[in-house]
Structure 1
């Protein structure tokens, strides 16, 4: 079995000779925690960073530097530029340090790769806050797996569905989707409570997952409205299967067929789909009725059936279709 050093294969015998010459005995573990144990034990004090590239419609490429907190999985888009130089990267680090403020005291490690854009000045910004910089191994992106996974999610759920026109558009798209903070979630909870009161809802329970953005303030808000919060099991999305099914329906029938330009466009599209889903789209569990529309009366007179005329109404430029009896 061959190993690789700096991209070059070496044999097992060569590895044994090097270890023997250095006086190192073969051992499954030489002391200290493994990398996985280190990431698990220090998760609350680790922040990772990496670059993500974005291809524009005019074939230019821009870059964004992202930071991910391991403990909360919170993502920070520090900046977007077509020329990510060393001084620009240092400035993004300073901006992040100012944004963190006293929260930086809880961080102990910064994980990054060996990109030349991370200069000594970049490391010094974090060293000033007593944050130790830990460099990953060469050509080993899996050692920074949490950040890589966050970038993969960003691509699948945002960038792969958008045509980015410019650097400013990329900055706007990332800013609109990358900061679902706990305070923002609580405000949405307040809006939901008011909507439920206006609709006279009889809901008693709220089912949610264990995302860190659902804070104690969010749960307390719903408890005041008489709703008991039930958290699902860890990594068990089927416990919230109705919500997961709706998300898949929204993707198949809307998002996979629409090019979203910005946050305002996304809100408009969601409002149209919400109206279509609640007032027209048939649901098998409701006997083909819609949540806010009962089934029409059955036409059992043959003469009326022969003269029946169906009218189609298009929503969102023909992405969604509504059918009804013509007047």
Structure 2
């Protein structure tokens, strides 16, 4: 017991001597640091909060390393110094961020254009898109193009070299014409034959004629009229193939006439209407919207109805494949909210009210 008392007395004596060497400022800092540590312990936390670290680092930083080692801290002096270095680093980072806000965000119009180029050209990588933007005079870094594509879930590198069937068929549609005969019966019991052609790209339909006797001479003249119509419309140079079935009403001469115009005839397989699916779909539309809802008196009445329906189909009827537009006119501009409020629509009856069209009232 006496030995322990002597040890404690000597230890406190040396501690008192150490206090004589400390300045009042160092004593105040030590007291504040110890008090703050008691506050931390009272919270019963296993680790200090960021604000505790910041306060301890700010308090003890003016002290020397030797003084730090004499303090009774919860952590080692090196840890406190590391906290201080991190505090200073974050402060400099915040100041640098305020001085330099960084690169501005890419314009929304440029981002939309990048995504449009990637969508319309699946085989293009970000470097190819960057080059196309440069040709348009748009200054943008290749890494920015890469980031835009990656953000939208589009692979920037050209692993997209494959092409879908839908994209392949759309790319070939401009060169394809299709033709078919449609049969109907008038009220007098006479069977009528309608010859129609369609351009796959624009979905424009040309009804070449209707007759009860589709002779070879009549079909040949209808083909000549079709070629003249295509030439006047500027579509003859783009047409390269004509799809038709193996109907006996087609004479062999028409293949020679088409070949002379640079158009190759493609015959569908026997009883395989899907090989001419787009035209067959239009035939179904013609029957549903006109022939099945109209009483056709005779050939003259049929021709009149077909002319009216051809005008409606090409100039007014919308198509999903054309983004809800008609084959001939361009789509209208979207209306502003105030224009919609003042909008007045009138109805036009076609074919005696069988078909309705809606237009702006003038």
Give me the TM-score of the superposition, normalised by structure 1.
0.47
Q: Which entry has the higher C-alpha Rg, 1 or 2?
A: 2
Choose between structure 1 and 2: higher helix proportion. 2
Choose between structure 1 and 2: higher strand proportion. 1
- Using CA pairs under 8 Å that are at least 6 residues apart, name the structure with larger relative contact order, 1 or 2: 1
